């Protein structure tokens, strides 16, 4: 209510909303990826300030590109073949250890 009151008091008697800012800046995907690659663990705020976009835009765009923020590092969602093989190997070792030592997880 105070917004409209101030508008009418200032002489603006139209009832139409002013045009919003809308989409501010179109930043290519490569700029987001290079911002993540340049610094070891950039914060979303640092990336947003560097590219001139909002904090939320950083999360949305990097998420769409397949990145997630874990332990203060941007990492790809997809694992490479070496990471997959290591995970399988470790899982098998833990399963075997559980079978041999029932008290292992207690």
pLDDT tens, N- to C-terminus, the chain (106 residues) = 677 777 778 877 677 766 655 555 688 888 888 888 887 788 888 888 988 898 898 888 888 888 888 887 877 777 788 988 999 999 999 999 988 987 877 7
pLDDT score for 24: 56
Which residue is associated with the tokens 């009418």? 8
Strands 73-76 and 67-70: antiparallel
Phi, psi of 18 (to 5 degrees): -75, 150
Q: Which of 42, 19, 18 is nearest to 31 (CA)?
A: 42
Domains and CATH numbers, the chain: 26-100 (1.10.10)
**Contacts with 45 (C-beta within 8 Å, 6 or more apart), sequence order:** 55
Q: What is the pLDDT of residue 44?
A: 86
- What per-residue confidence (pLDDT) applies to 30? 87
Q: How confident is the model at residue 20, as a pLDDT? A: 57
Cα-Cα-Cα-Cα dihedral of 82, 86, 87, 91, to 10°?
A: 160
Predicted model pTM:
0.51
Distance, CA of 47 to CA of 36 (rounded, Å): 8
């Amino acid at each position: 209510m105070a917004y409209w009151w101030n508008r009418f008091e200032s002489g603006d008697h139209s009832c139409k909303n002013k045009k919003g800012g809308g989409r501010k800046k179109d930043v290519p995907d490569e700029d987001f990826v290079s911002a993540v690659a340049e610094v070891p663990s950039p914060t979303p705020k640092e990336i947003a300030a560097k590219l001139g976009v909002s904090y939320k835009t950083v999360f949305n765009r990097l998420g769409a590109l397949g990145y997630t923020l874990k332990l203060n590092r941007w990492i790809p969602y997809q694992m490479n073949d070496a990471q997959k093989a290591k995970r399988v190997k470790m899982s098998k070792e833990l399963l075997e250890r559980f079978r041999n030592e029932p008290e292992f997880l207690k």
